[in-house]
Amino acid sequence: HVFKLEDYRPSDYLIPKTSLDFRLSPDATRVTALLTVERRGGVATSAPLVLDGDGLTLLGVAIDGHALAPADYLATPDQLTIPKPPAAPRFELRLETEIAPSSNEALMGLYRSSNVYCTQCEAEGFRRITYFLDRPDILSVYTVRIEAPHNEAPLLLSNGNPVESGVFADGRHFAVWHDPFPKPSYLFALVAGALGKVAGSFTTLSGREVELGIFVEPGKERLAGYAMDALKRSMKWDEEAFGREYDLDVFNIVAVSDFNMGAMENKGLNIFNDKYVLADEETATDADFANIEAIIAHEYFHNWTGNRITCRDWFQLCLKEGLTVYRDHEFSADQRSRAVKRIAEVRTLRAHQFPEDQGPLAHPVRPRRYREINNFYTATVYEKGSEVVRMIRTILGPEVFRAGMDLYFERHDGEAATIEDFLKVFEDVSGRDLAQFALWYHQAGTPNLTVSSSYNAAAKAFTLEIEQSVPPTPSESRKRLMHIPLAFGLVGAGGKPIAWTTVEGATVEDGVIHIRKRRHTVRFSGVSERPSVSLNRGFSAPITLSVQQKADDQLFLASHDSDSFARWQAFNTLLTDVLIAAFRQVLGGKQPAFTVKLAELAGRIAGDEALEPAYRALALSLPSEADIAREIGKGIDPDAIFGAREALALAIAAANRESFEALYLGLADNGPFTPDAASAGRRALRNILLDYLSLLPEGAALAATHFHSATNMTDRAAALTVLAHRHAGSRQAQEALAGFEARYRGDALVLDKWFLIQAGVPGPQTVDKVRALMQHPAFSIANPNRVRSLIGTFSSANQTGFHGADGQGYRFFAETVLEVEKRNPQVAARLATALRSWRSLEPVRQDKARQALLQIANAENLSADLRDIVERTLA
Ligand code: ARG
Ligand code: ZN
């Protein structure tokens, strides 16, 4: 079945009140739902009531206290139909279902993970608990009673505020929770089990005392301190930056070890993958700390953008996700370094969203059709969705943007809204027409701007010729012209901005050229010297640029651009261009050669004390193999890309040996560990220097020393990666891998790093290693984190391993995706996206990749999730 945006219509019935009663038992949990059902005004009394289910067993159904006869309803596992509901406008429907949390390996609905009952209902998991109008525009006030044996589940949590609890003589107990805020079913949550609690409190701006709780596996409480701190900072920040206060008496977070995604914003009861809660310096890297901070913030921010204002239907997913990602990006930028954060965001967008937008799975930020909504929790909806919100702010300016957000909260609080509603608030506060801008939501594909420039010294005129194009994407061959806010600067000697007197050919305001037509000739007059032009400053629009610019201008901007993003970009573009040329040399059987200029510039950036260490680290990290492949576009031979990249790294290392060594030594940090951004930045710089130095003679010994003297996981994991990836097979690598395994045996989250590092070892032999590691006692194909670390890393981050020319990687992939799918279709479907760029491979690999996709497509009993991905990928 294909769901289409234009088919949306309001439901005939509403469910203003929902009471749920759970009697928990691993294999037979009884769920009693008491639903107040209301016929919507104007709907005929003959309209049947049709509720969604998914794999349910119905034990009983009653209306207004009277059991229905079998002839009065039709129940299948996936639907409950009451053909002739009462004529009264409102009635009470009582449903009793039985479910088996223990055997729920899809991890949707109510399931058990390490003896803890928990739920995941977004997008359509609630229907695996009881029959319901399981759609986001059905807002209901929930009261939830949970009953379980006290020894099995001493803790009983649900959404909202606790209202009642008690114990029975037989060892059972119960708790009742009430959530006063009407919410859609996807935000329902229940947790029950034996968990340790970290308690905190927060006083809101208006003086409300909120009790905070983070619940973790008993014994791991001390690992939740950073998450608690991040939560308090998030609550404060949302008050300051958006005027948003928390609204319940309690806010709880639960960490579970089997979770399909990162985390979930259930009202008052966020549930997290424990990977994004638990951290200390011994077990977590700086990247883990940053992710925890960002995800805690993201889920907390959903309380307003997602929960208080939710989505009318799943086509509007970006209404909550893109906006909330934008908010968590801003939070991290304020808590850390804005410049570094922006570069990291753009790298992520390019690594994940660009290939999606440029391949067979491309879809608009607001899709118009889907077969399986779980497959639309994508980088396009989340990351590009965030960029679209950022562009609104760029176009309107910070004050008008904030006024628009205020109006959004005021106008739509308590509603299930649409993208049109969102855009309208900004039109209303600004008086602008955003119709052309709205195409960012409706049109898939990454727009490209082709830019060339010329300077006429006699006329003091500088001209930019800009042409936009949007490439065709699946089922959208013709595109309309977009409104692209292009931030720019004219840069003169020493990096000074160059002024102009007048400009014509486009609207230019506050350093932004508004591209709206296919072609713009933008003429600046009164320009006193020939400028270098800095384009898409701050990455003001999620586009690609084809700029005809001299390498000298690029070199100049890489040293002098006052916009830190554009400066980073200039250097990164230089590196990319050189890598593409080197790739062609390798393909042609030549040894790639590099000019010294680039290596010298790398050396200068590394040692530039005026720049933050984290920025320098980002500048020095070469475009990834996947980045290079994306820029090349087609005929990809991953081995040649690998060869080119290694050769450039070696050239940079060799040219800067002494200065890199001195810097590396100077960055050694013997003080106590702190996870703050500045300290993390110094570690990042030192670790990238290690990466370069490890390519030189004695590199393995240096990395081994780094590994053994490490006092935190960031340094330890970085050194282990260098040893395993660059010195695979060396004694030092073997010892370090064995030592790491022995040290962290029993800590599944840390062993995930051990799996991940080994899955990333370059070369065609890694597929056998990955197969062998699947037999490791710590590996479990039922656990999403294990699967992502080992199989996900191999298939989506190991270019030379996965895309080995013999096709073994693809064969392994097809088998394993099908194996994962038997238990968990959602995780399998996500894994399967690793082949989305198969058409850009050279012909031999392309054919083998296609065979693997066909093998999946032809398997029997394929889930809707996986079928949707492989069919679109092959189409
Ligand atoms: N709403 C959650 C978040 O972004 C993610 C839920 C993902 N659900 C899914 N079915 N993939 O915070
Ligand atoms: Zn989210």
Is ligand 1 within 6 A of the CB of residue 238?
A: no
Q: What gap in Å lies between CA 140 and CA 187, rounded to an integer?
A: 11
pLDDT tens-digit map of 252-298: 999 999 999 999 999 999 999 999 999 999 999 999 999 999 999 99
Structure tokens belonging to residue 182: 């009407």
Ligand nearest the Cα of residue 321 is 2
Q: Is the pLDDT of residue 669 over 90?
A: no
Cα(122) to ligand 1 centroid in Å equals: 6
Q: What gap in Å lies between CA 679 and CA 672, rounded to an integer?
A: 10
Is ligand 1 within 6 A of the CB of residue 265?
A: yes
Q: What is the DSSP string of 626-640?
A: HHHHHHH-SSB-HHH
Amino acid at 593: A
**CA-based nearest residue to 826, from 102, 105, 48:** 105
Q: What gap in Å lies between CA 864 and CA 124, rounded to an integer?
A: 13
E strand intervals along 742-864: none
Tell me, what's the pLDDT at 701? 98
Amino acid at 772: A
Q: Is the pLDDT of residue 440 over 90?
A: yes
Mutual orientation of helices 657-666 and 677-693 as an angle, nearest 10°? 140
Is ligand 1 within 6 A of the CB of residue 374?
A: yes
CA-nearest residue for atom 8, ligand 1, is 122
Residue 374 CA, closest ligand 1 atom number = 10
Beta-carbon neighbour count of residue 599 at 10 Å? 17
Tell me, what's the pLDDT at 269? 99
Residue with tokens 């700086």, as numbered in its chain: 286
Tell me, what's the pLDDT at 549? 86
Structure tokens belonging to residue 585: 């040399």
Q: Which residues are catalytic?
A: 299
At 857, is the pLDDT very low, low, confident or very high (cuts 50, 70, 90)?
very high
pLDDT tens-digit map of 366-401: 999 999 999 999 999 999 999 999 999 999 999 999
Residue 592: DSSP 8-state: P
- Using CA atoms, how far residue 755 sits from 722, 759, 769, 797, in Å, is 15, 6, 10, 13
Q: Please write down the HEC assignment for all residues of 61-113.
A: EEECCEECCHHHCEEECCEEEECCCCCCCEEEEEEEEEECHHHCCCCCEEEEE
- CA contacts within 13 A on the Cβ side of 112: 18
Q: What share of the chain is helix, strand, coil (3-state, %, to 5)?
A: 45, 25, 30
At 87, is the pLDDT very low, low, confident or very high (cuts 50, 70, 90)?
very high
β-bridge partners, 250: 211
Residue 108 CA, closest ligand 1 atom number = 10
Does an H or E element contain 625, and which?
helix 625-632
Residue 841: DSSP 8-state: B
Whether pTM > 0.90 for this model: the answer is yes
Asked whether the beta carbons of 453 and 465 are under 8 A apart, the reply is yes
Q: Please write down the HEC assignment for all residues of 693-755.
A: HCCCCCHHHHHHHHHHHCCCHHHHHHHHHHHHHHCCCCHHHHHHHHHHHHHHCCCHHHHHHHH
Mean pLDDT of 827-846: 98
Beta-carbon neighbour count of residue 555 at 10 Å? 18
Contacts of 28 (CB under 8 A, 6+ apart): 98, 99, 100
**CA-based nearest residue to 215, from 259, 290, 277:** 277
Q: What gap in Å lies between CA 830 and CA 865, rounded to an integer?
A: 9
Is ligand 1 within 6 A of the CB of residue 263?
A: yes
Q: What gap in Å lies between CA 750 and CA 748, rounded to an integer?
A: 5
Is ligand 1 within 6 A of the CB of residue 321?
A: yes
**CA-based nearest residue to 694, from 707, 682, 683:** 707
Mean pLDDT of 14-24: 99
Tell me, what's the pLDDT at 40? 98
Q: Is the pLDDT of residue 31 over 90?
A: yes
Q: Please write down the HEC assignment for all residues of 594-613.
A: CCHHHHHHHHHHHHCCCCCH
Asked whether the beta carbons of 140 and 33 are under 8 A apart, the reply is no
Query: To the nearest whole percent, how much of the chain has pLDDT over 90?
Result: 99
At 550, is the pLDDT very low, low, confident or very high (cuts 50, 70, 90)?
confident
Q: What gap in Å lies between CA 772 and CA 84, rounded to an integer?
A: 59
Cα-flanking dihedrals φ and ψ of residue 558, to 5°? -65, -20
pLDDT tens-digit map of 745-799: 999 999 999 999 999 999 999 999 999 999 999 999 999 999 999 999 999 999 9
Is ligand 1 within 6 A of the CB of residue 305?
A: no
β-bridge partners, 866: none
Is ligand 1 within 6 A of the CB of residue 299?
A: yes
Asked whether the beta carbons of 432 and 425 are under 8 A apart, the reply is no
Mutual orientation of helices 419-430 and 317-335 as an angle, nearest 10°? 60
The CA-based dihedral angle spanning residues 146, 149, 155, 160, taken in that order and rounded to the nearest 10 degrees: 10
Q: Is the pLDDT of residue 551 over 90?
A: no
Mean pLDDT of 319-335: 99
At 732, is the pLDDT very low, low, confident or very high (cuts 50, 70, 90)?
very high
Mean pLDDT over all residues of the chain? 98
Asked whether the beta carbons of 649 and 762 are under 8 A apart, the reply is no
Q: Taking ligand 2, which is a single-atom ion, which protein residues have CB atoms under 5 Å away?
A: 321, 324
Cα-flanking dihedrals φ and ψ of residue 31, to 5°? -120, 120
Beta-carbon neighbour count of residue 36 at 10 Å? 16
Mean pLDDT of 221-242: 98
Cα(821) to ligand 2 centroid in Å equals: 24
Cα-flanking dihedrals φ and ψ of residue 112, to 5°? -120, 130
**CA-based nearest residue to 91, from 20, 14, 22:** 14
At 328, is the pLDDT very low, low, confident or very high (cuts 50, 70, 90)?
very high
Tell me, what's the pLDDT at 236? 98
CA-nearest residue for atom 3, ligand 1, is 264
Mean pLDDT of 157-181: 98
At 670, is the pLDDT very low, low, confident or very high (cuts 50, 70, 90)?
confident
Q: How deeply is 1 buried, as exposed, middle or buried, from its count of CB atoms within 10 A (0-12, 13-18, 19+)? A: exposed
Most informative mutation of 111, 253, 261, 318 for ligand 1 (most atoms within 8 A of CB): 261
Most informative mutation of 108, 122, 188 for ligand 1 (most atoms within 8 A of CB): 122
Cα(298) to ligand 2 centroid in Å equals: 6
pLDDT tens-digit map of 95-131: 999 999 999 999 999 999 999 999 999 999 999 999 9
Is ligand 1 within 6 A of the CB of residue 715?
A: no
